[in-house]
Amino acid sequence: MKAENHLERLKQNLEILEESIKKGIVERQQIIGFSTSLASAEMLEILLHKKNLIDPGFVVKHEWLKSKNKIKEKFPFDFSRKDKIFELIERIEEKRNILCYGKPQEEELIREVINNFNELRKIFKEEGLNGI
């Protein structure tokens, strides 16, 4: 998929995430779990395309992003701030299924995911991803 397509999907997820935060994070924990996970993967793909580290057919699967071994296997190349980016994505992914499929969680846990996502988003902006 082209980077432009990823950017469009990312923008949609960011809108959904912002709406969910405004309406109440505890009530919208499932949407927040899905949106932060998908948006993280989209931002990563955009960055990797921009740096020409993956070809257009490469698909980042969110399941890979919660396993250090899968990350090493699927992303053997280096790029700026790689360790910090994957650390934040791992934190988001480790809470994804709890938010998406589990019982209602405490606001603190949901805020932690949102904060990790916002920190990740900031890094991607600093790395030159425009429009996020």
pLDDT value, residue 5 = 80
In this structure, is residue 69 part of a structural domain? yes
* Structural domain harbouring 107: 3-126
Number of domains in the chain: 1
pLDDT tens figures, 99-127 = 999 999 999 999 999 999 999 999 999 99
Distances (CA, A) of 9 to 86, 103, 129: 20, 28, 14
In this structure, is residue 115 part of a structural domain? yes
In this structure, is residue 131 part of a structural domain? no
In this structure, is residue 68 part of a structural domain? yes
- Cβ count within 10 A of residue 95: 23
Predicted TM-score of the model (pTM): 0.93
What's the distance, CA 129 to chain centroid? 14
In this structure, is residue 132 part of a structural domain? no
Share of the chain above pLDDT 90, in %: 82
Contact 38, 45 (CB under 8 A): no
pLDDT value, residue 84 = 98
* Confidence check: pLDDT of 80 > 80: yes
